[in-house]
Structure 1
């Protein structure tokens, strides 16, 4: 996502439009999936939709959140200025707090919520990396992508990620486990972490710690969290 946010206003609008369309598609797919489990999960699509709205609004309003003077010096700029990475993380934190409170209030099991979010987040990730180009290191490989009129070709990092994410998501949707077992969320973290880690080796990034970049540390942490969470999941009837 950082590459896209730095690629100019047009690319930012395109990426967020694609994410919005993917979120809507995910909403419809999850609602269809939950029709098979009775009343237990009927509220989940709406709750997750509210959480996504919290993330988007917090991200969009983050310039005012972290710099309140904008509200009285140039409030109109909030309509055109994009949010920050810190705003995205803040929105994610607020969304998780909201989901946990809503889950408790409605008596929904946490594994059931996490599994449902895995279906949704997986689709959004596949759509994002499939259509938003991310160029990595220069390469002479025949499938390298040229940028503009340059004679150089670059690794299509987003396609490398899709090559892992797409089959993983299809498998997860068909045979990854029952909703509420916790296995779907575990699989999602593991596969997503592996996909990001694989793509990171073709990017140009400075090491942050122990020779690893920030993305590699995050991806490794996600994959390990997914693997460690799996034995703790318990199969439940959905």
Structure 2
């Protein structure tokens, strides 16, 4: 039995999908907290960077509606509150968050290996929990959501259990490559799978491209010695 798409919290109506996102983010921060529990000052700084990047991404995604639909935004200003920039706005928000994180990490001189691991653990925790909660709420397409949950948990555990000597560029590129491959595979089980070319959807082709790019960068990194983060 499916749960309602909207639930009422006092005077507020909250979409279930938005509630799932919020819970997943909270779990991601909790995962980072436990991972960095012995590094309190560093944990606080990383939390600040994560919080600011998420807020920036949300604002860019939300108000990118004005950028992509200026005439509608001018005619009906209230529409900005109800609509967003969609998939294009999401990509723009992701780019803005990445640029902000890169600049802030360099400015604050945060240790890249620790920060990268924290982001990876938090990110894959959010990934696994969001699909698990969506699976529980929607009660359908369990094969797709179940596999995505397992993928997130596996990658999170791989990062947690990695050795210090594995904190290299090649290690992270390999994880990204295999994650991209996993998304090409699991995409065939998505209920709304729509082939674009050669049986692959637009998202699958995008993941395939990033997996191939990661493989190319791995070969280049190995040729130059596979420098670790500590040496950067």
TM-score by length of 2: 0.73
Describe the shift of the 1:185–1:14 C-alpha distance in structure 2 as closer, same or farther (beyond 3 A).
Answer: farther
Describe the shift of the 1:56–1:74 C-alpha distance in structure 2 as closer, same or farther (beyond 3 A).
Answer: same
Partner of 1:24 in structure 2?
26
What are the equivalent positions in structure 2 for 1:158-177 lying under 5 Å apart? 158-173=145-160, 175-177=161-163
Deviation at 1:235, TM superposition (A): 6.9
Cα distance in structure 1, aligned partners of 2:60 and 2:73: 15
Deviation at 1:14, TM superposition (A): 2.0
Query: In terms of mean alpha carbon deviation, does 182-191 or 119-128 score higher?
Result: 182-191
TM-score by length of 1: 0.72
- 2:178 corresponds to 1:212: no
Partner of 2:16 in structure 1?
14
Verify the 8 A CA contact 1:59 1:88 in the aligned structure 2: yes
Cα distance in structure 2, aligned partners of 1:131 and 1:223: 27
Verify the 8 A CA contact 1:196 1:219 in the aligned structure 2: yes
Query: In terms of mean alpha carbon deviation, does 53-62 or 185-194 score higher?
Result: 185-194
- 2:195 corresponds to 1:193: no
Deviation at 1:92, TM superposition (A): 0.7
For residues 152-201 of structure 1, give each alpha carbon's deviation from its aligned partner in whole angstroms, at most 9, with x where no partner exists. Answer: xx67312122233323323322x124496457744642443233122122
What are the equivalent positions in structure 2 for 1:1-238 lying under 5 Å apart? 10=6, 13-37=15-39, 39-40=41-42, 42-133=44-135, 156-173=143-160, 175-178=161-164, 181-182=168-169, 185-186=172-173, 188-203=175-190, 204-208=193-197, 211-225=199-213, 228-229=217-218, 232=226, 234=228, 236=230
Q: Which has the higher helix share?
A: 2
Partner of 1:5 in structure 2?
none
Describe the shift of the 1:34–1:226 C-alpha distance in structure 2 as closer, same or farther (beyond 3 A).
Answer: farther
Cα distance in structure 2, aligned partners of 1:190 and 1:30: 23
What secondary structure is seen at the aligned counterpart in 1 of 2:36?
helix
Verify the 8 A CA contact 1:51 1:99 in the aligned structure 2: yes
Cα distance in structure 2, aligned partners of 1:30 and 1:146: 29
Unpaired segments ≥5 residues, structure 1: 1-8, 134-144, 148-153
Query: In terms of mean alpha carbon deviation, does 9-18 or 118-127 score higher?
Result: 9-18
Cα distance in structure 2, aligned partners of 1:164 and 1:29: 17
| Structure 1 residue ranges, 4+ long, deviating more than 6 angstroms after superposition | none
Count of matched residue positions in the alignment of Structure 1 and Structure 2: 212
